[in-house]
Structure 1
């Protein structure tokens, strides 16, 4: 399981964009977003750095939570 802190995530559109970015790396990933805390929890077998890079490419800074 991977947890990312995504401080720029502020709305439902952001949640969708971040989720889409994660799914572009691992389409079977289970993505749970807690918008108030800005934490994205991802159950995946993909490399964490690839997930983080995809989220960053989508326009959202992130770091391990």
Structure 2
């Protein structure tokens, strides 16, 4: 299922890698696309939305939507 999150606090490639790693720890098969300039994270995953959002928050980023 395709899901989109607005994630603030990503300022560099390391941030993108941290968010991707957090999502992949929740779902190893997830496909992740990040548009840092737009603060968008698109995830194709079978995991519940809240589980993915929680993983991103645990890395220290704010999930707005």
TM-score bracket, normalised by the shorter chain, equals over 0.9
**TM-score, normalised by the number of residues in structure 1:** 0.94
Bigger strand fraction: 2
Task: Using the TM superposition, give the Cα deviation of residue 7 of structure 1 relative to its aligned residue in structure 2, in angstroms.
Answer: 1.2
Bigger helix fraction: 2
Q: Is the 8 A contact 1:52 1:63 kept in 2?
A: no
Tell me the C-alpha RMSD between the 2 structures.
Answer: 0.7
- 1:2 alignment partner, SS class: strand
Query: Does residue 1:14 correspond to 2:15, yes or no?
Result: yes
**TM-score, normalised by the number of residues in structure 2:** 0.94
Gaps of at least 5 residues in structure 2 are none
The runs of at least 4 consecutive aligned structure 1 residues that moved more than 2 Å come to none
Counterparts of 1:55 and 1:35, CA distance in 2:
14
Q: Which residue of 2 aligns with 1:38?
A: 39
Gaps of at least 5 residues in structure 1 are none
Q: Is the 8 A contact 1:26 1:44 kept in 2?
A: yes
